């Protein structure tokens, strides 16, 4: 399954995301609950899903700095409301960011609280890998208990390839270290700058193709969700081209991995597969 995050059409609305998901051939939609009023209205989202015949497969809780006041300011209440929304819409995953370090009370019981929500709602609360905040002179650990989920006791994790680029970690090693806890993939890319870029997969330096092929060979049962930044696209047609390219990238490399001997290179050529032994993951810092 390859789904489209509504964040991928920003500054267009969630309604545009559902329409494009249907027209371009995506299998579902991840709703990023945010400043778009539609995204936080369960009934409105349900109507869009029915109208375009595209299921909601995941809900991204309002965890960003710009969404700190969406659904109030109490973080646990926001996660509970996200889980309720997912349950109502038939989605089985809620994507969650770890707390900001200054949210001390929230961070103190975060790991245990996530487990409690999963038990209460029967929904996978998939905590996302983040990254250190960097400037030219310093690095700030902005998330607690950590931006890196590998050593935390989460049952479900979201792996984001733009975030691995910014954190300068190897997503192949992270995926291997997570094992069956890897539940959800944000398919995107990054060039390794201090900025969270969310490039179209294949336009940065992350091993997007290799990861898709590895997960396919391992019979990954989670969701692959395209989450890219199209806000600088000059036209609607350019945005659609980027979304179509990202979907084609995912489909191509997942299909290629179903053959045991050959892969598709970044240039589109068919090459004999070179198998590599996994390198152990070492938690940064």
The domain that holds 105 is classified in CATH as: 3.20.20.150
Give the rounded distance of the alpha carbon of 174 from its chain centre.
14
284 lies in a domain? no
51 lies in a domain? yes
Name the domain count of the chain.
Answer: 1
Q: How far apart are CA 188 and CA 227, in angstroms?
A: 6
* 74 φ/ψ sector (left φ>0, alpha ψ -120 to 50, else beta): beta
285 lies in a domain? no
Give me the DSSP letters along 109-141: THHHHHHHHHHHH--EEEEEP---EE-SS-EE-
Give me the sign of the Cα torsion angle 229, 234, 235, 241. Answer: negative
Q: Give me the mean pLDDT over the 16-31 stretch.
A: 98
Q: What angle do CA 275, 278, 283 make, to 5 degrees?
A: 155
Q: How far apart are CA 264 and CA 20, in angstroms?
A: 27
Write out pLDDT tens, residues 225-280.
999 999 999 999 999 999 999 999 999 999 977 655 555 565 666 565 554 445 57
Write out pLDDT tens, residues 95-132.
999 999 999 999 999 999 999 999 999 999 999 999 99
216 lies in a domain? yes
87 lies in a domain? yes
281 lies in a domain? no
Pairing mode, strands 2-5 and 124-128: unpaired
Q: What angle do CA 221, 78, 64 make, to 5 degrees?
A: 75
201 lies in a domain? yes
277 lies in a domain? no
Contact 59, 30 (CB under 8 A): yes
Q: What angle do CA 16, 163, 77 make, to 5 degrees?
A: 65
Contact 205, 165 (CB under 8 A): yes
**Greater model confidence, 132 or 140:** 132
Q: Give me the mean pLDDT over the 38-56 stretch.
A: 98
Q: Which domain holds residue 48?
A: 2-272
Q: What mean pLDDT is reported for the chain? A: 92
């Amino acid at each position: 399954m390859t789904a489209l995050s509504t964040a991928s059409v920003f500054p267009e609305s969630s309604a545009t995301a559902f329409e494009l998901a249907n027209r371009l051939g995506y299998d579902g939609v991840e709703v990023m609950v945010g400043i778009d009023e539609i995204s936080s209205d369960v009934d409105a989202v349900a109507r869009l899903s029915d109208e375009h015949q595209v299921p909601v497969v995941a809900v991204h809780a309002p965890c960003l700095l710009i969404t700190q006041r969406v659904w109030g300011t109490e973080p646990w209440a926001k996660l509970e409301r996200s889980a309720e929304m997912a349950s109502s819409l038939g989605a089985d995953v809620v994507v969650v960011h770890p707390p900001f370090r200054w949210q001390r009370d929230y961070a103190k019981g975060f790991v245990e609280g996530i487990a409690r929500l999963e038990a209460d709602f029967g929904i996978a609360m998939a905590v996302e890998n983040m990254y250190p905040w960097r400037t030219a002179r310093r690095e700030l650990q902005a998330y607690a208990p950590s931006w890196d989920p590998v050593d935390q006791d989460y049952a479900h994790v979201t792996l984001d390839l733009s975030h691995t680029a910014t954190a300068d970690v190897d997503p192949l090693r992270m995926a291997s270290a997570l094992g069956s806890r890897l539940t959800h993939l944000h398919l995107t890319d990054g060039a390794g700058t201090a900025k969270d870029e969310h490039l179209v997969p294949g336009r940065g330096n992350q091993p997007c193709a290799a990861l898709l092929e590895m997960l396919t060979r391992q019979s990954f049962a989670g969701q692959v969700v395209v989450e890219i930044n199209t806000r600088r696209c000059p036209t609607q047609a350019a945005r659609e081209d980027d979304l179509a390219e990202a979907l084609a990238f995912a489909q191509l490399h997942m299909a290629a991995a179903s053959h045991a001997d050959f892969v598709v290179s970044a240039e589109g050529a068919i090459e004999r597969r070179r198998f590599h032994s996994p390198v152990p993951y070492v938690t940064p810092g």
